[in-house]
Amino acid sequence: MQEFVVLISEKKSILAPKNKVFTSKYGKIDTAGVKIGDCITLKDEIFVVAEPSTPDLLKKCRRGAQIVMPKDAAQLVAITGLSRGWRCLDAGSGSGFMSLFLGIIVGRQGQVITYEKRADFFSIAKKNIELFKLDRVVAIKNQDVTEFRERNLDLIFFDFKDSSILIKKAKSRLKPGRWLVVYSPHIESQLSALAEMRDNKMHISATVETIQRFWKSNFGYTHPEPSGIMHTGFMTFARKVL
């Protein structure tokens, strides 16, 4: 797979293939022989060569479906304590962002299995997993999630319509005390998920929404961005009891 470096200046960042001549919007860049820490000057702007962080690589990902935003994905770490070694089920894959996120956290001691029935999304997600070199952590299946057979899971993440029909099954496939998380943009999906979770005697931990404001500060004028993302999704967190 192609390797990348990221070129960072005060104002910009460019994800660049390693050891290649390529054309960016800042002109032709030759990364042959450049090493981490080197400086490159493009149009009078100095860039340092750095190891990409995850957010750099995410910009390179292909997108098909709506993605779960990092602010929301990160709540899995905040609320469930998701960490190395966990075995996770992610459905549906969409563009694969949540699987990448899970895969990075759980690492090779863990595992992520992800289902995507649509062939186009499956293909996009697969490429993104390869871009992140997570093939050994994330297994993607071009199948309907209703057929999932995994057991003994630490975390199940549902981001698809009518996920409430799968809650009973999901619960039965979790380890005791482990987590089912239902994400959706609509309050009704949360309500039907909650009802199913209660019917299945799960321990409801929380239903949350996470709102992020970005501030700007220039020349002594500081303020939140005037417009932006007001809502992405609600997330309900429940744990298996019986």
Residues in 1-20 at the binding interface with a copy of itself, rule: CB under 8 A: 6, 8-13
Q: Are 173 and 140 in contact (CB under 8 A)?
A: no
**Interaction residues for a copy of itself, span 201-240 (CB under 8 A):** 201-204, 206-217, 220-232, 234, 239-240
Query: Which H or E run includes 193?
Result: helix 187-199
Q: How far is the CB of 92 from a copy of itself (least distance, A)?
A: 18
Q: How far is the CB of 68 from a copy of itself (least distance, A)?
A: 11
Q: Transcribe 71-125 into DSSP letters.
A: HHHHHHHHHH---TT-EEEEE--TTSHHHHHHHHHH-TTSEEEEE--SHHHHHHH
**Total number of residues binding a copy of itself (CB under 8 A)?**
83
Alpha carbons 197 and 37: distance in angstroms, whole number? 51
**Interaction residues for a copy of itself, span 43-102 (CB under 8 A):** 46-56, 70-71, 73-75, 77-81, 83-84
Q: Are 22 and 31 in contact (CB under 8 A)?
A: yes
Q: How far is the CB of 212 from a copy of itself (least distance, A)?
A: 5
Q: How far is the CB of 20 from a copy of itself (least distance, A)?
A: 19
User: CA–CA distance from 186 to each of 64, 99, 174 (Å)?
Assistant: 20, 22, 25
**Interaction residues for a copy of itself, span 121-150 (CB under 8 A):** none
User: CA–CA distance from 70 to each of 117, 164, 229 (Å)?
Assistant: 23, 24, 13
Given 34, 42, 104, 139, the residue binding a copy of itself (CB under 8 A): 104
Residue located via tokens 């071009």:
142
Identify which of residues 119 and 152 has a Cβ nearer to a copy of itself in the complex: 152
Q: How far is the CB of 209 from a copy of itself (least distance, A)?
A: 5
Given 42, 107, 130, 150, the residue binding a copy of itself (CB under 8 A): 107
- Is 24 one of the binding residues for a copy of itself (CB under 8 A)? no
Paired strand residues for 24: 27
Any idea what DSSP says for residue 67?
P
Tell me the window of 21-29, 119-127, 142-150, 178-186 that interacts with a copy of itself (CB under 8 A). 178-186
Identify which of residues 119 and 230 has a Cβ nearer to a copy of itself in the complex: 230
